[in-house]
């Protein structure tokens, strides 16, 4: 499980994205990556020397005049300082120290978090000498590398994992599910949480999470018991504007990675926007259960078809993963909040259910016999055995004589048939085809 977030910061065109791309292309270092977690952001789950961490590229957002550049860069760096555990500050040896570099360095000198100064485009001995100039930024030692060739990135990553703060594991006696409330700013996350907890705050205990900004609130009410991971109102929003999409996504990264189920709260008056989709796919990519709550439904003008039409629009954006509970609620009037809890608990049960191998084979082999994989180049694929893998999330393996000829459309067919027979609503399913 990833406990650390690394943010790559710096002014435009110094090679931040190139460094990020080099990291995610390193086969031995990368577990998974998602391009475009927000409109123009990159998020990757990486591993180096046995330590897993999340990397976020903050580049590509700034545009316009020099003044706008500086203002946007300042917001990006302040955000990284607020949310990340380690910061990689990338500079360009070809251009030397620029006023914008000095602005970023001034912000970074004030923080106590580890900052790694990475001098890019150092690919020969002459440029190694030129890099000495960056001592003037007042950030101590620096690391030289060339993001295009990859030279020096190993030393940088070695220093990176050494800089990770020690995070002692918190012992939680109750083995309770963890439900994270996620969504973009002003969708109603805080209102939803307060409506659940109530004015008297029905809190048994506050448990500091494995990350510094994810706080577990033990919820024990209405016959439900779980840890509620609050991503709303924990961190101050100073100097971070609502339209800075990266803000909510960066906070959501931690909460999603450490949760069992994600409750995605969206604003009914604004619709299922790009940022909502980004957070949804972030949860799906991390193989978490998802429940979508359309909040502020009391503010929407409705007719008899409104709910169905709204739900269809959302599912169209979620294709092909459309088997997701969607509930229309109002945190203000407490409309359908109990149903939302019931749906979330059900998704949690769906995620951990186990299907007996005999029952699974009995059903799925008949399904496969009725519609076998299409023949490829005159070769017929035969599947004779299947089973659910003993993993935390639902994963199924089908053993075939020629697995290379089973394409994605047929895997989706198998997944749909599994969902028809067993309730896996809100839960991503993995299908593997292996040689028998």
Annotated binding site for GTP: 10-17, 57-61, 120-123, 183-190, 230-234, 295-298
Q: Are 397 and 434 in contact (CB under 8 A)?
A: yes
Q: How far apart are CA 303 and CA 262, in angstroms?
A: 29
77: phi > 0 → left, psi -120 to 50 → alpha, else beta; which? Answer: alpha
Q: Residue 28: phi, psi to the nearest 5? A: -80, -10
In angstroms, how far is the first alpha carbon of the chain from the final one? 31
Taking Cα atoms as reference points, which of 86, 70, 66 lies closest to residue 165?
Answer: 86
Q: At what angle do helices 66-83 and 246-257 cross, to 10 degrees?
A: 20
Residue 224, Cα to own-chain centre: how many angstroms?
26
Q: Are 261 and 288 in contact (CB under 8 A)?
A: yes
Q: Which residues line the annotated binding site? A: 10-17, 57-61, 120-123, 183-190, 230-234, 295-298
Q: Residue 299: phi, psi to the nearest 5? A: -95, -5
Q: Are 38 and 249 in contact (CB under 8 A)?
A: yes
């Amino acid at each position: 499980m990833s406990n650390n977030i690394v943010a790559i910061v710096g002014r435009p065109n110094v090679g931040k994205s190139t460094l990020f791309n080099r990291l995610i292309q390193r086969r031995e270092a990368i577990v998974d990556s998602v391009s475009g977690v927000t409109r123009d952001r990159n998020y990757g789950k990486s591993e180096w020397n046995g330590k897993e961490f999340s990397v976020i590229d903050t580049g590509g957002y700034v545009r316009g005049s020099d003044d706008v550049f500086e203002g946007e860069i300042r917001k990006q760096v302040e955000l990284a300082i607020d949310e990340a555990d380690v910061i990689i500050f990338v500079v360009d040896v070809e251009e030397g120290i620029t006023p914008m570099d000095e602005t970023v360095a001034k912000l970074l000198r004030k923080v106590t978090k580890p900052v790694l100064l990475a001098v890019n485009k150092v690919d020969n001995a002459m440029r190694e000498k030129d890099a000495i100039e960056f001592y003037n930024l007042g950030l101590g030692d620096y690391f030289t590398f060339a993001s295009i060739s990859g030279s020096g990135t190993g030393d940088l990553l070695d220093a990176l994992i050494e800089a990770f703060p020690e995070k002692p594991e918190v012992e939680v006696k109750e083995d309770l599910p963890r439900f994270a409330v996620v969504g973009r700013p002003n969708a109603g996350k805080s209102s939803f949480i307060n409506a659940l907890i109530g004015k008297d705050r029905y809190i048994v205990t506050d448990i500091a999470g494995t990350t510094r900004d994810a706080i577990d609130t033990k919820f024990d009410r209405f016959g439900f018991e779980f840890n509620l991971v609050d991503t709303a109102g924990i961190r101050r929003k100073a100097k971070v504007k609502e339209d800075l999409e990266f803000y909510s996504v960066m906070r959501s990264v931690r909460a999603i990675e450490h949760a069992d189920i994600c409750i995605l709260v969206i604003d009914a008056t604004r619709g299922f926007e790009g940022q909502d989709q980004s957070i949804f796919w972030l949860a799906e990519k991390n193989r978490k259960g998802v429940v979508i709550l359309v909040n502020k439904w009391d503010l929407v003008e409705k007719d008899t078809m409104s709910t169905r039409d709204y739900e269809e629009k959302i599912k169209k954006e979620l294709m092909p993963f459309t088997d997701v509970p969607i509930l229309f609620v109002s945190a203000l009037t407490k409309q359908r909040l109990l149903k939302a809890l019931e749906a979330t608990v059900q998704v949690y049960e769906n995620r951990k259910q186990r299907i007996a191998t005999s029952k699974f084979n009995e059903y799925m082999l008949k399904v496969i016999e009725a519609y076998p994989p299409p023949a490829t180049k005159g070769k017929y694929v035969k599947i004779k055995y299947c089973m659910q893998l003993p993993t935390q999330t639902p994963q199924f393996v089908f053993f075939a004589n020629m697995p290379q000829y089973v394409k994605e459309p047929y895997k989706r067919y198998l997944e749909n048939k599994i969902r028809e027979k067993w309730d896996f609503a809100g839960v991503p399913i993995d299908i593997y085809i292996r040689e028998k």
